[in-house]
């Protein structure tokens, strides 16, 4: 049993082997510190999504321990994990998964539905979250009235609305053109500046390179964990 190191998410000697026998993660130890903006890069199949799912308690490790906000998740049941996901973790996916017939603000409110926030407070919080992603003026729009980038921002607002300890984004720019994608990454950077901890998976090396911390996976192992000392400057290897 390992001691908590104070990170928002801590993986300690985590291995994930799927039923088919594929070891997607192999003895990974990684700590996401409060205030991190962390890019996860690696070839397709290297285990990035698996890593994110374990961090987000959507799946359980085959061995090793996962802590979220200091709490060991392997001992938690479905209800407790759900509370954790509802309150401490925000997910952003490649598809924005918006409900077609609901206005942007209602879609953001969905993020509060399972967090026990009373109905009357939801709209205020949702509008605040939309404001944070620069979409206050689109609150009443339906998804089909929004651009792809705007839809993704609504998805990000939905992840932010509970003020989670960490936002986990799996290729949030994957379905966007490079300019729009860059704008989303800019948004992450801006949010990070206000104290939001973000883990973002990306295939775009350039985008990844522009972020303060970069973890590289290969065949389920962490092969690099680098921090930028200064924007555009030299990078210092962490390990």
Q: Is 39 exposed, middle or buried (0-12, 13-18, 19+ CB in 10 A)?
A: buried
Which entry of ligand ATP, Mg ion, another protein, none binds 95, CB below 5 to 8 A by partner kind? Answer: another protein
Closest-by-Cβ residue to Mg ion is 49
How near is the Cβ of 151 to ligand ATP at its closest, in Å?
Answer: 20
- Shorter beta-carbon distance to Mg ion: residue 95 or 147: 95
Q: Could you say which of 8, 39, 49, 169 contacts ligand ATP (CB under 6 A)?
A: 49
Q: Which residues bind another protein (CB under 8 A)?
A: 53, 56, 58-59, 78-79, 82-87, 89, 91, 93, 95, 97, 99-102, 110-111, 113-116, 119, 158
How near is the Cβ of 85 to another protein at its closest, in Å?
Answer: 4
Q: Within 10 A of 123 (CB to CB), how many other CB atoms are there?
A: 15
How near is the Cβ of 170 to Mg ion at its closest, in Å?
Answer: 6
Q: How far is it between the farthest Cα atoms of the chain?
A: 51
Which helix (H) or strand (E) element contains residue 200?
strand 198-201
**For residues 53 and 40, what is the distance between their CA atoms, to the nearest angstrom?**
13
Which entry of ligand ATP, another protein, Mg ion, none binds 151, CB below 5 to 8 A by partner kind? Answer: none
* Interaction of residue 24 with ligand ATP, rule CB under 6 A: yes
Task: Count the alpha carbons within 13 Å of 64 in the hemisphere toward its beta carbon.
Answer: 23
Number of helices (H), then strands (E), belonging to the chain: the values are: 7, 11
Backbone angles phi, psi at 168, to 5 degrees: -110, 120
The window from 23-31, 49-57, 64-72, 100-108 that contacts Mg ion (CB under 5 A) reads 49-57
Binding residues for ligand ATP, how many (CB under 6 A)?
A: 12
Q: Could you say which of 8, 46, 56, 65 contacts ligand ATP (CB under 6 A)?
A: 46
* Interaction of residue 49 with Mg ion, rule CB under 5 A: yes
**For residues 182 and 179, what is the distance between their CA atoms, to the nearest angstrom?**
5
Alpha-carbon distance values, 233 to 35, 108, 189, 221 (Å): 20, 37, 17, 26
The window from 38-46, 96-104, 120-128, 144-152 that contacts ligand ATP (CB under 6 A) reads 38-46
């Amino acid at each position: 049993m390992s001691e908590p190191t104070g990170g928002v998410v801590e993986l300690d000697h985590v291995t994930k082997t799927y039923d088919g026998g594929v070891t997607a993660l192999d003895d990974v130890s990684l700590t996401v510190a409060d205030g991190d903006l962390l890019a996860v890069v690696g070839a397709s199949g290297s285990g990035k999504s698996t890593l994110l799912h374990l961090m987000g308690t959507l799946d359980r490790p085959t061995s090793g321990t996962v802590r979220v906000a200091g709490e060991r998740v392997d001992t938690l049941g479905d209800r407790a994990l759900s509370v954790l996901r509802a309150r401490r973790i925000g997910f952003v996916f490649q598809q924005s998964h918006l409900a077609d017939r609901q206005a942007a603000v209602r879609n953001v409110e969905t993020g509060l539905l399972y967090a026990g926030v009373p109905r009357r407070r939801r709209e205020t919080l949702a509008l605040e979250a939309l404001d944070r992603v620069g979409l206050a003026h689109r609150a009443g729009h339906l998804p089909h009235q929004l651009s792809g980038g705007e839809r993704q921002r609504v998805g990000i607002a939905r992840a932010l609305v509970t003020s989670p300890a960490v936002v986990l984004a799996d290729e949030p720019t994957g379905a966007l053109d490079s300019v729009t994608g860059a704008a989303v990454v800019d948004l992450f950077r801006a949010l990070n500046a206000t104290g939001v901890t973000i883990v973002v998976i990306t295939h775009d090396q350039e985008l990844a390179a522009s972020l303060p911390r970069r973890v590289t996976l290969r065949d389920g192992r962490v092969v690099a964990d680098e921090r930028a000392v200064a924007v555009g400057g030299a990078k210092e290897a962490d390990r």
